[in-house]
């Protein structure tokens, strides 16, 4: 989703100071985030090997006790507890900037190809312990993670320019993660991706024709690829 670059922009501005942008591909009608600052992200996967694909680093800013090494905290669970179970923080190397000035609505011209990269990019640290993955958590703790997603989404929706919010999780270096400590991310955009718009249009069309929700009508067995006894 991002396209880091180490080259200066047309005006000679260094990528160290260049603000993120949202650029529209005129061929696919797809919005792409151009965020040079993402190239500066550190990684703790550099020492990985086939026998140790997710090595534990000697120091991890996501681990409990190293909170001061992270970007500003938004909230934690439990609130104000030094023995937290999860934390929601700003991304230290965000693809989008929450500090950019933006209009409440996008320009209505079809020729607009570039807009400021305003948005939110947060990190949900799912556990204070480095070796614990999301799949290791008990149902209550997994519920806390999901409730935190909901809480942060509700906070972000108070910002009028935001039109789309996505929660995602990259697990491992091959999936694009730069930190091995279990975490997920929340990204909020001022534009709705075309693939999402087409799905919304499809569900609305189905409802208008049948008076029913196509997602509610879908049977879970139709989505099963394989199962074991």
Closest CA to 92 of 125, 53, 64: 125
- Write the CA distances from 85 to 64, 144, 202, integer angstroms: 9, 9, 39
- pLDDT tens-digit readout, 121-144: 999 999 999 999 999 999 999 999
Per-residue pLDDT band at 1 (split at 50, 70, 90): very low
pLDDT bin (cut points 50, 70, 90) of residue 223 is: confident
177 vs 99: CA distance, rounded Å: 25
pLDDT band at 8 (very low <50, low <70, confident <90, very high): very low
The answer to whether 183 is a known catalytic residue is: yes
pTM, entire model: 0.75
Question: Which token pair is 185?
Answer: 């991310």
Reported as a single tens digit per residue, the pLDDT across 24-72 is 888 888 888 888 777 777 665 555 555 555 555 567 999 999 999 999 9
Torsion of CA 131, 136, 139, 144, to 10 degrees: 30
User: Whole-angstrom Cα distance, residue 33 to residue 25?
Assistant: 11
The one catalytic residue among 121, 181, 183, 222? 183
């Amino acid at each position: 989703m991002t396209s880091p670059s180490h080259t200066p922009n047309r005006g000679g501005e260094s990528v160290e100071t260049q603000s993120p942008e949202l650029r529209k591909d005129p061929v696919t009608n797809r919005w792409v985030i151009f965020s040079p600052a993402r190239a500066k992200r550190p990684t703790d996967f550099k020492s990985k090997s086939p026998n140790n694909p997710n090595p534990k680093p000697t120091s991890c800013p996501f681990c409990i006790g190293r909170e001061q090494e992270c970007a500003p905290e938004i909230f934690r669970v439990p609130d104000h507890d030094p023995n937290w179970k999860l934390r929601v923080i700003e991304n230290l190397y965000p693809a989008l900037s929450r500090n950019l000035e933006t209009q409440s609505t996008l320009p209505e011209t079809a020729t607009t190809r570039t807009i400021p990269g305003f948005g939110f990019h947060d990190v949900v640290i799912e556990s204070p312990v480095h070796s614990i993955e999301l799949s290791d958590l008990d149902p209550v703790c997994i519920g806390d993670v999901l409730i935190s997603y909901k809480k942060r989404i509700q906070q972000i929706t108070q910002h009028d320019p935001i039109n789309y919010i996505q929660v995602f999780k990259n697990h491992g270096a091959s999936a694009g993660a730069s930190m091995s400590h279990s975490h997920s991310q929340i990204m909020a955009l001022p534009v709705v991706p075309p693939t999402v718009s087409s799905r919304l249009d499809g569900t609305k069309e189905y409802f208008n024709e049948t008076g029913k929700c196509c997602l509610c009508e879908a049977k879970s067995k139709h989505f099963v690829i394989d199962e074991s006894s």
